[in-house]
Amino acid sequence: MSNLLNPDAIFSNNEMSLSDIEIYGFDYDYTLVFYSKHLHTLIFNAARDLLINEHRPAVDAGREIGGDMDIVLEGIRKYEYDPNFAIRGLHYDVQRAILMKIDAFHYIQMGTVYRGLSVVPDEEVIDMYEGSHVPLEQMSDFYGKSSHGNTMKQFMDIFSLPEMTLLSCVNEHFLKNNIDYEPVHLYKDVKDSIRDVHIKGIMYRAIEADIEKYICYAEQTRAVLAKLADHGKKMFLITNSPSSFVDKGMRYIVGKDWRDLFDVVIVQAEKPNFFNDKRRPFRKVNEKGVLLWDKIHKLQKGQIYKQGNLYEFLKLTGWRGSKVLYFGDHIYSDLADLTLKHGWRTGAIIPELRSELRIMNTEQYIQTMTWLQTLTGLLEQMQVHRDAESQLVLQEWKKERKEMREMTKSFFNAQFGSLFRTDQNPTYFLRRLSRFADIYMASLSCLLNYDVHHTFYPRRTPLQHELPAWSDSPSAFKAPLLQEAQAK
């Protein structure tokens, strides 16, 4: 218990010195600004109502069962948002209407496969996928979309939590009522409903109308920006959100003078297209939010620009390479292109990290994990004993290990477990995080704990062939005895 993890720490995948960073860039949503639990409920409810009123799913199914269509649709309206159902990084099999968690090696974690709101038995999963492995061609491609028809979709965005929950609720409703439906159509209609909550401005208007309800006010955001400005760092903002929405949010969390802190502000950037499409020029937005026709020869401080593309941005600013550090919460849309194509350094904001670290610091979790590791070591060492009595003991240990794995999963999320682990393996989410983010942290406020010249050194994680044999570490036997050690 003496080596507890710090929830306010910054963790490094790649060595990086802040002394080399001259320019800091930021996304807006879930990077500079955090939202309260009420926002996902708003998105869920608004998308659910759009689905019922405008997209009207399963109309043919309702006619086929001879029921009143309004009754069929109103049945969907009874479902409410459950903030504890889904986690980020899950995969959705569009054609089978199944939500699941997949590890870094493309294996499905058994017990985390859901059809509607009910878990799918392991035997059925193995039968459907001819095992537990999902082939590469069926997995999500670079941006989390399917690369093989409509096979798989990976949900990487924090805003996707209401979408996963709505998908599961509607699937549950149709399954419970024996309604025959096409899962591909349902997926598209739910996706379009979620999109319309943003595109039609429903979410933006609601937040602007009650900003204190939806935005988590934090003085630390201004403190981070002020610290960087005081040390002569240049700063810019690139967001997909609209101008008036960003302005009101930044006025609330930073102050009326927030634009004075930024050298460049770009709204409605349409990331990730912003990083790849060279054809879209910048447009200036005036104080009334009107788009101007002026040709942009320079990105001026205090002005707001819309659209544009990164190639034009680099030409106008000259901000290239490893002297730029960009922060965002979406691993694909915010970070992937920047690190792979442009050599920028990247920082991932992972809000879930803080709560997971706090769980990992509990005595119950430490004791459970220590015994689980010891039990795994016992199985590995003692499996050489093939007599009947020893085999019975080994089977009991395997059963206990399986039960403890399920217990460990429930510490984080009863359905899907940790964002970062599938049993002993990293998740597919963590694999992408490790690849596309130099550093990651729970929030920007973690920067306040470090000097602007601090160097982040990734921990040297031993490779499997570098680890000592388990049997060579006698202390492992004593590890579960935490209470005895503390008593001593």
pTM of full prediction above 0.95 = no
Q: What digits encode the pLDDT tens for the residues 221-268?
A: 999 999 999 999 999 999 999 999 999 999 999 999 999 999 999 999
Residue 55, φ and ψ in degrees, nearest 5? -90, -25
Residues tagged active-site: 27, 29
Instruction: Average the pLDDT over each of 20-29, 181-190, 280-289, 384-393 and give the range with the smallest value.
Output: 280-289
pLDDT recorded at residue 59:
45
State how far the alpha carbon of 412 is from the alpha carbons of 40, 114, 119, 428, in Å.
Answer: 19, 17, 17, 17
Q: What digits encode the pLDDT tens for the residues 315-335?
A: 999 898 889 999 999 988 888
Assess whether pLDDT exceeds 60 at residue 61. Answer: no
User: Is 260 marked as a binding-site residue?
Assistant: no
pLDDT (mean) for 65-94: 82
Q: What residue spans in the chain does CATH classification 3.40.50.1000 cover?
A: 217-322
State how far the alpha carbon of 212 is from the alpha carbons of 36, 205, 249, 258, in Å.
Answer: 9, 13, 10, 18
User: Is 8 marked as a binding-site residue?
Assistant: no
User: Is 329 marked as a binding-site residue?
Assistant: yes
Within 10 angstroms of residue 175's Cβ, the number of other Cβ atoms is 15
CATH number for domain 217-322, candidates 3.40.1280.10, 3.40.50.1000, 3.40.50.2000, 3.40.50.150:
3.40.50.1000
State how far the alpha carbon of 206 is from the alpha carbons of 123, 129, 213, 269, 383, in Å.
Answer: 45, 42, 10, 22, 60
Assess whether pLDDT exceeds 50 at residue 191. Answer: yes
Instruction: Average the pLDDT over each of 131-145, 244-258, 278-292, 447-461 and give the range with the smallest value.
Output: 131-145
Q: Assign 302 a pLDDT band (cuts: 50, 70, 90).
A: confident
What is the residue-averaged pLDDT of the chain?
A: 87
Q: Could you tell me where the DSSP H helices lie in 383-474?
A: 388-412, 428-436
Assess whether pLDDT exceeds 80 at residue 68. Answer: no
pLDDT recorded at residue 290:
74
Pairing mode, strands 425-426 and 421-422:
antiparallel
Q: Tell which residue, 53, 78, 292, has the closest CA to residue 169.
A: 78
Assess whether pLDDT exceeds 80 at residue 67. Answer: no
**Cα–Cα distance between 105 and 127 in angstroms, integer?**
19
The percent of residues in the chain predicted with pLDDT above 70, rounded, is: 89
